[in-house]
Amino acid sequence: MKFFVDTADVDAIRELNELGLVDGVTTNPSLIAKSGRDILEVTKEICDMIDGPVSAEVVATEYEAMVEEGFKLAEIAPNIAIKVPLTLDGLRACRTFSAEGKMVNVTLCFSANQALLAAKAGATYISPFVGRLDDINIDGLELIADIRTIYDNYGYETQILAASIRSANHMSDCAKIGADVATAPPAVIKAMANHVLTDKGLAAFLADAEKAGIKIV
């Protein structure tokens, strides 16, 4: 499973990238606003840092304006994935972008039917929101499994990009189901390395090494 980091914080992206844990980046208007920077400027900086796809989202809601904004975003760098909402206008824009060879991330997916439409429209990525479904007492992971089944049934090439990831457990669960990608905040990706028994074992090894006077250099 590929790891995308869900942030517009360039320092956080750089840190994870240096660890080899970033296959791509997802942003949205909320994350751009949180960064306090111009969307074109910060997106260009991220694209220069990351070899993989960088999702940049349109803010228009009507087809013609989405197309104008999407092609403007695509001019930033060749690794831009144009992000559009899962609406009828968004699906139409997705078809237009994909026909021009652009990567497209269709976002705000909350049902298997929506995911099926996105695949039909030629989406590169579909972004089902796990955590937001969990928030309303619907199993977000079940949606990932349903989309996996449908896509495998018909050989759709659209990649499942599990989004709205809230925990390290979400990451491993999505991997077990077969999500192609999971995008998560930096803190969640870092948390995947944590385990109380790792900490306990390391403390014991270090104590024994100090007691025995073990030095390597």
The angle formed by the CA atoms of residues 94, 161 and 53, to the nearest 5 degrees, is: 70
Q: Rounded mean pLDDT of 190-216?
A: 96
| pLDDT tens per residue, range 128-149 | 999 999 999 999 999 999 999 9
Domains and CATH numbers, the chain: 2-192 (3.20.20.70)
Q: Is the pTM of this model over 0.85?
A: yes
Select from 31, 68, 25, 65 the least CA-distant residue to 47: 25
Does the annotation mark 176 as catalytic? no
> Cα dist. 5→15, 151, 206 in Å?
11, 24, 33
| pLDDT tens per residue, range 6-16 | 999 999 999 99
Question: What pLDDT does residue 6 have?
Answer: 98
Answer for the pair 50, 17: CB distance below 8 angstroms, yes or no: yes
| pLDDT tens per residue, range 78-101 | 999 999 999 999 999 999 999 999
Q: Rounded mean pLDDT of 106-119?
A: 98
Question: What pLDDT does residue 28 have?
Answer: 95
Answer for the pair 143, 126: CB distance below 8 angstroms, yes or no: no
Q: Rounded mean pLDDT of 212-216?
A: 93
Question: What pLDDT does residue 143 have?
Answer: 98
Question: What pLDDT does residue 114 have?
Answer: 98
Question: What pLDDT does residue 206 have?
Answer: 96
The residues that bridge with 107 in the sheet, in sequence order, are: 85
Q: Which of 34, 72, 83, 215 is catalytic?
A: 83
